[in-house]
Structure 1
Amino acid sequence: MKPFLRILLPAAVCGLLLGACTQRQTTLKFMSYNIRNGRGIDNVQDLGRVAEIINRTAPDIVALQELDSVTGRMAGRFIPGELGEMTGMHARFCRAIDYDGGAYGVGLLSRDEPLAVRRIPLPGREESRVLFVAEFPDYVVCVTHLSLTPEDQRASLPIIRTVTDTCRKPVLLAGDFNMKVAKTVLDGLGGTFRPLSDTTQMTFPSDKPSIRIDYILGRGLPESAVVTERQVDTSTVASDHCPLWVSLAWKK
């Protein structure tokens, strides 16, 4: 082989490999679900129905709200852990309040283990609220369930914005905001987030959805990011909320 070909061939191979790496696509299916501890709108307590919905949808991440951790009313069961076992996912819990010998709050199911997690207190005069922050290699996931009190809802949004201002990765924020108007949520977050879920579809109550209080939002996503699917499941009564999810794709 001639000397210049010995140089040219490895360089060409490296260029091809570099091009392949820069075009690698990340895909993510992200669900948000207020599960009401597995108690359906029909008042039947059945965590298996919730797990069935999650397994049928096959998300990579599930933001969960209204979870008990070893409370007396749930006979000491660790609800996030049970859902993790039923779905084959890693489970994390974030306490909002102490309750009945255990705790009550939000949580996360994920195919991959988070690199790190944080708990951020949020205002709530009827009960304390939290923002749960979980970091993954390519993005940060935030889960919340805001207060029923409008003043506390509005006070929570700037806190969430300040926390996510420090993130150097794309942020996915999901949960039950208890706020009916999407524009109020987005304006309260300072215009830094954009809706990923369908803001025209109602999410509550699950038997006859008439209001929208559950959202999936994104911040700092790459320009190449596209929503390939957005869905609200109005066919299930496993909770008083409808589950919602989005599928995202972007080039790295």
Structure 2
Amino acid sequence: MEKYFDQHISRRFNEELEALRSHVMKMAGTTEEMLADAIAALVEGDTEKAEAVIAADDQVNLMEKRIDEEAMQILARRQPTASDLRLVMAIVKTVNDLERIGDEAEKIARVAIVLTESERPRNNYYELENMAGHVRTMLRDALDGFVRMVPEVAVSLFRADKKVDDEYEAILRQYYTYLAEEPRKTSRILNAIWIARSLERIGDHAKNIGEYIYYLVEGRDVRHMPSDEKEQALLDDGKD
């Protein structure tokens, strides 16, 4: 990302952009921690950890507001050129997805608290912990791509998201079977489905961040392309 911060005549502009990036990464670190702690709260039955995740969501919301305000001030003061405008907008969109990731982590934490009152399954939610591990990897890769502004990360995140979607569908099939076989455990199973859904959405948000990076660096918006066309476009540009 350094090339986007070293090209301006105005040192003050560079400093403003660097401060913006720093605040985004602080917010990203908080959301990463929220996700990890929410899953740990589920697996360990730790209500205190879950409550901490819920409280942290307010911090993430405040971070989003602060970063949005800083970005708007930069746009108003600097009237940036096209490439700089894409940079600021990519940051704003990334922050929006980070805030939503925080929301999903909070939902997981709230459900985890409810599930502490239910009988724990024999596998202790292994399938959800495993899916969460894949989603956390996606989030880390997205944030690493954001720091280094590497457009190729969009390809790996696109493929990883397809695997997470497949994993989500497999978990749903598994849980629907449980619903038919063990109707007494319906409440617990439905809550577990909500957690799987939140994890799937977090994967979507991580993929989105990759697409913002791709648009910033390559100047091509692939967000609303059909899935096959999007993959081919990303692969073709990656060969250039």
TM-score by length of 1: 0.20
In our comparison, the structure showing a higher alpha carbon Rg is 1
The answer to which structure has the higher strand fraction is 1
Higher relative contact order (CA 8 A, sep 6+): 2
The answer to which structure has the higher helix fraction is 2
TM-score by length of 2: 0.21
